[in-house]
Amino acid sequence: MLKGKNVLLGISGSIAAYKAAILCRELVKQGVHVKVVMTPDASNFITPLTLSTLSKNPVYSQYSDSQTGTWNNHVELAKWADFFLLAPATQNTIAKMANGICDNLLLATYFSMENKTYFAPAMDLDMFKHPANQSNIKRLQSFGNILIPSESGELASGLVGEGRMAEVENIIKAISYTNTLWKGKKVLITAGPTYEAIDPVRFIGNHSSGKMGYALAEKALTKGAEVILISGPTQLTAPSGVKLVQVKSAAEMLHAVRENTADLYICAAAVADYTVANPVNEKIKKKTYSLTIELQPTVDILAEIGAHKKAHQFVVGFALETQNEEENALGKLKRKNCDMIVLNSLRNEGAGFGGDTNQVTIYDKDNMSSTFQLKSKFEVAQDIIDTIERKWLA
Ligand code: CTP
């Protein structure tokens, strides 16, 4: 998949730079033409000699060679590359890229790129979590750069947590998939609860946090897809780079879905099954007698998508169950004409609404099923997107 591509490997000054040597060797082994550009500080962690030997090309880190006076043309380097892969990407280099600071050859080359840039952050736990760094990462994504997410584990400081550069095999996976399978694919995801108004101050809602749908949007984005996230009311920030459509009610969500077509639909929203038949414009005043509110069914958005599904489209539903889980999930898969359904049972501790974890079983229309362990919603989202990829695209 990567064979024959010209990859500019950018290395900034982090202890994770030692992994860049392995990354460089792997890329070359796969038939990639690699040129390396380093920040001046990166050579404190790994020598240009190692990288030039592995890449079979000169390594660039200064604007000119002081011995020969040769100018290293950053524009030429940028035009040569099919894409720029910055691994490791330090907090400092990310901040400069996000804010237009251009004080070394690597940055000048990045700012001259017309093709894609991937970046794999590497830093310590607290630096990684710092709002300044998080906002710079989001800013870089909003420019169209593709994040290769950091992983959790032991860090050079001895702390354990998020911030470790992605493993070489995951970096290679990220750049391979993005370049082929998901390119040009439009993904529509529904997320969160819906609020059905009773009067101007009250509504009927549910406990959905939207976390599962937002995690799916981030993972689909990382694969290189174009993502439309249609979200009910949540406290979450949408991943930069997705097209966010905010809605309140089931009727608004339905309208937004009808306005957008996609190749892949993932309906993760907890859409109200009933709405208020006659919402009123004035606040309902307290009375001493009982109050009856008439409810009427909403349109089933997933079922409507399934009913109009075209051959090239793939439709994924969710089933939240408390009893007869498998039977109910398979019933929904069939009734709503889905290709895949993700079951979460509220009987499993740590699964379902609100929390940060989930435990799912995925069924497809050929009666295949896979059950996954209890994991963070981000890891579950990765499992779901990887399963979709295998069943739909591979
Ligand atoms: N769904 C939808 N529109 C609705 C109701 C549900 O798109 N009006 C979708 C959900 O996003 C989910 C799937 O249908 O992908 C199943 O939702 P769930 O609440 O589990 O099932 P229901 O069909 O509503 O059935 P029930 O509530 O009886 O279990």
Atom of ligand 1 nearest to the CA of 298: 8
Give span(s): CATH 3.40.50.1950, the chain. Answer: 6-177
> 170 and 148 in contact (C-beta within 8 Å)?
yes
Give span(s): CATH 3.40.50.10300, the chain. Answer: 186-393
Give the closest residue to 40 by CA, choosing from 72, 62, 73, 68: 62
pLDDT attached to residue 8: 97
Structure tokens at 347: 């009987």
170 CA to middle of ligand 1, Å?
34
pLDDT attached to residue 6: 95
Angstrom CA distances, 302 to 62, 339, 346, stand at 55, 11, 21
* Whole-number Å distance between alpha carbons of 195 and 247: 9
Q: How many CB atoms lie within 10 A of CB 292?
A: 5
Atom of ligand 1 nearest to the CA of 269: 11
Q: In a mutational test of the pocket of ligand 1, which residue from 189, 255, 318 has the highest number of ligand atoms less than 8 Å from its CB?
A: 318
Atom 21 in ligand 1: residue holding the nearest Cα: 319
pLDDT attached to residue 179: 59
> 242 and 227 in contact (C-beta within 8 Å)?
yes
- Per DSSP bridges, beta strands 340-345 and 314-321 are parallel
**Which CATH superfamily hosts domain 6-177?**
Flavin prenyltransferase-like (3.40.50.1950)
Atom 23 in ligand 1: residue holding the nearest Cα: 332
Instruction: Specify burial of residue 124 (Cβ count, 10 A radius: 0-12, 13-18, 19+).
Output: buried
275 CA to middle of ligand 1, Å?
14
**pLDDT under 70: residue ranges of the chain:** 1, 177-179
313 CA to middle of ligand 1, Å?
20
Atom of ligand 1 nearest to the CA of 250: 8
Atom 18 in ligand 1: residue holding the nearest Cα: 319
User: Which of helix, strand or coil describes residue 98?
Assistant: helix
User: Which of helix, strand or coil describes residue 55?
Assistant: helix
Residues with CB under 6 Å of ligand 1 are 190, 250, 267, 269, 271, 273, 298, 300-302, 317-320, 332
pLDDT attached to residue 296: 98
What pTM, to 2 d.p., does this model score?
Answer: 0.67
Question: Which residues share a beta bridge with 35?
Answer: 8
Q: Any idea what DSSP says for residue 298?
A: P
The count of residues in the chain is 394
Atom of ligand 1 nearest to the CA of 299: 8
* Whole-number Å distance between alpha carbons of 309 and 251: 20
CA-based R_g, the chain, Å: 24
357 CA to middle of ligand 1, Å?
20
* Whole-number Å distance between alpha carbons of 309 and 261: 11
Q: In a mutational test of the pocket of ligand 1, which residue from 229, 302, 342 has the highest number of ligand atoms less than 8 Å from its CB?
A: 302
301 CA to middle of ligand 1, Å?
8
220 CA to middle of ligand 1, Å?
22
Concatenate the DSSP letters of all residues of 111-173 into one string: HT--SEEEEEE---HHHHH-HHHHHHHHHHHHTT-EE---EEEE-TTS-EEEEEPPPHHHHHH
Backbone angles phi, psi at 11, to 5 degrees: -125, 125
* Whole-number Å distance between alpha carbons of 390 and 45: 38
> 202 and 284 in contact (C-beta within 8 Å)?
yes
pLDDT attached to residue 337: 98
**Which CATH superfamily hosts domain 186-393?**
CoaB-like (3.40.50.10300)
pLDDT attached to residue 333: 98
Active site residues: 206
pLDDT attached to residue 145: 87
